[in-house]
Chains A and B, each alone.
Chain A
Amino acid sequence: MAEIWQGPLEKIDDYRFRIPKTYKPGMRVPGIIYADEKLLKDIRQDKAPEQVANVAFLPGIVNASLAMPDIHWGYGFSIGGVAATDIENGGVISPAGVGFDINCGVRLLKTNFQYEEIKDKIKALVYALFSDIPSGVGSKGDIKVSEREEREILVKGARWAVEKGYGIEEDLECTEEYGAIQGADPLAVSQRAYERGKAQSGTLGSGNHFLEIQVIDQIYDQKLSDAFGLTLGQITIMIHSGSRGLGYQICDDYTRSMIHYLQKYNINIPDRQLACAPVNSPEGKAYLSAMKCAANYAWANRQCLMYLTRKVFEKVFGMQWQKMGMSLIYDVAHNIAKIERYTIDGKEKTLCVHRKGATRAFGPGHPALPQRYKNTGQPVIIPGDMGRNSYLLVGTKKAEEETFGSTCHGAGRVKSRTAATRSINVEALLKELESKDIIVKASGRGTIVEEAPQAYKDVNEVVNVVHNAGISKRVCRMRPLGVIKG
């Protein structure tokens, strides 16, 4: 176990705590952690708060180095970290503020089914999904692409999949950035990254990635639930995956080059993994273009995974997916950097917003939202652990004012993988999950233990904080029925 963090955390209110700028010389802004007293105890257990302070060193950072209540110790940035830099004022972009798994994210789709109608089919569904969706370390997909096609994916993102017949136009409207962020330049991606991304389209991956069949077990906001067409007892499906090997290689390539150029830009940072370059420098621009390629690859990947899921449902139920109402609610990225406009001290600014384990949470009326969500605000999807709950929230104006339109991304780990493996018995865990009517299929038994509910914070407590702080709003809650793990 890491040592307990002893640094200063000043209480601003019940859900906000400040690490003062004076904590460490070199901090340009304070740190602000969204949490309550109970979660704060967990947060102090590792080095995440120190990482929040370290991020405050980044040149051009504005307002504060932020952390969401699911914050935990990462490398460079904490996981659950949000930082925005002013790009016209020397603001930097850091690959560590995005992570190796670029555009790791999650999508939620609904069905017409009620739990009572299909509860006897869950097992068959889980087994069919597990057999038809490639998962596990280095898994390769049946959706094979040539190098020329891979380049096309990097630019077109989820649209590539839709053009291939793996979805419909409406899916793109229900995806952040419409499934393809503009400005992706395949020339910024190394040959090695291409090779590493090849053959992995339409694969889930491993670790914390999953596909889940869920049931809505609580409605918090009737009006918003009605707007999304969601009712108590309804079956939903959640898919969590990222850009696979392509993203890892891009992050590695650009961390290497940015470390080399730190001196050139006279950048002092307390952790070399925070290597960065001005957004407007050649190195910053190249990274951003490459990162966008990986982001688009991830959106194409989740689109392919959804296509495979729809196919499995068609096979099991013998009807078309449209008849089963399997439409996408939304797809969000939670490892990404975005160029967005905000008003800072009364002035319009163009910022580079890093969301490392954080979700965009735009409020009603935001121009980036499709017409269908203009009144509700952006759907925010929060996956929990395999034994507890997941959430659908919406973004708020307050998030745009306070957190650069960002909120939490999940439950957040509290126990290391090694500690989980040491202390949790896989048989006992599977029995416990079975007693809750949760069926789990995983490529490796190790993954089940590492991803056990005990290794995570309670997502209910995490969501409670972002809801009460006003940076997103609860719509409804799901509980897992069937889980496919990498």
Chain B
Amino acid sequence: MPKEYELIEHTADLGIRVKAKDLKELFRNAGLAMFEIMAEPAQIDDKQKPKTKKVIIKQKADNLDGLFVNWLNELLSLSATKELIFCDFKIKKLDKNSLEVEAEAESLDKYKVNTEIKAATYHQLKIEKIDSRWQAEVIFDV
């Protein structure tokens, strides 16, 4: 997929600016960008396609900003505890207070992990509609 994000400079940490045609795609692209920063597929000897696992993720929040941060942090948390790397998302339901996603993940051992992202933060968080496209900026603690 074409790169739908760019890095934002931050002295201690790391930020991203993500773009998308709609909100659902914005959430999807932010999730994908985060895991692209964290890990890359390892060279695997067996030619078999790694098995994917489906995970249903539900989140609630007081507003869209909260939902966005909770979504990314839930992914980080699941990735760490289940030892998974998420590789795609179907956003089933999304409004400003709740979210339901069918996520696709692969086992962590199929990947080379480059950067540990501890969490997504609210610091300078921005989600906005510019002309007809959506854009989000978020800073991670790395």
Contact = CB atoms under 8 A, between A and B. Distances in A.
A60 interface: no
B62 A259 contact: yes
A446 B115 CA distance: 8
A137 B116 contact: yes
B123 A72 contact: no
Interface in A407-422: 413-419
Interface string B31-70: 0000000100000000000000000000000100110001
Nearest to A263: B62
B81 interface: yes
A76 interface: yes
A53 to B, nearest CB: 14
B118 A101 contact: yes
Given A99-B141, A417-B14, A205 B116 contact: yes
Size range of the chain A interface in the assembly: 35 or more
Contacts, number: 102
A433 to B, nearest CB: 21
Contacts of B1: none
Contacts of B12: 72-74, 79, 413, 416
Nearest to B62: A260
B123 A2 contact: no
Interface string A433-458: 00000000000101000000000000
A33 to B, nearest CB: 15
Interface stretch (B3-11, B21-29, B128-136): B3-11
Nearest to B81: A195
Contact of B123 (A137, A196, A273, A418): A273
Nearest to A417: B14
B9 A2 contact: yes
8 closest pairs, A vs B, by CB?
A75-B123, A272-B122, A75-B121, A195-B81, A137-B116, A273-B122, A73-B11, A137-B113
23 contacts: A2-B9, A73-B10, A73-B11, A75-B13, A75-B139, A75-B141, A76-B121, A76-B122, A137-B38, A137-B116, A192-B77, A196-B80, A196-B81, A248-B118, A249-B77, A251-B119, A256-B73, A259-B66, A259-B122, A272-B122, A272-B125, A416-B11, A418-B14
Interface of B: 7, 9-14, 38, 62, 65-66, 70, 73, 76-77, 80-81, 83, 108, 113-116, 118-119, 121-125, 139, 141-142
